[in-house]
Amino acid sequence: MNFFIKFYNKFKNPLSFPLLISGIIILLLSITRGFDLPILKHISIAPEYRSSSLIIGCVMIATAVGLEISSGYKRRRR
């Protein structure tokens, strides 16, 4: 848990971290056939929604990266 807190503190924009994590999860779910978690038995995305979830995951990751780049640019200009 301490790793995630240290990783979160490196982000300049508070929205970037949740967007990046959720984008990675959606991207992994769209690429794989799903995976098992201890609490939830099997998480997967229906085959007809895999292409749209792949696009959504990529957009979320790109948005997180864009927010980080723009936050760093604004802080340097001041």
pLDDT tens-digit map of 11-61 = 778 888 899 999 999 999 899 887 777 787 888 888 899 999 999 999 999
pLDDT tens-digit map of 58-73 = 999 999 999 888 877 6
Task: Output the pLDDT for position 76.
Answer: 52
Task: Output the pLDDT for position 47.
Answer: 87
| Number of folded domains that form the chain | 1
For residues 12 and 2, give the distance between their C-alpha atoms in angstroms, rounded to a whole number. 18
pLDDT tens-digit map of 43-53 = 888 889 999 99
The parent domain of residue 15 ranges over 2-77
Q: Which residues of 26-38 are buried (b: 16+ CB within 10 A; e: fewer)?
A: bbebbeeeeeeee
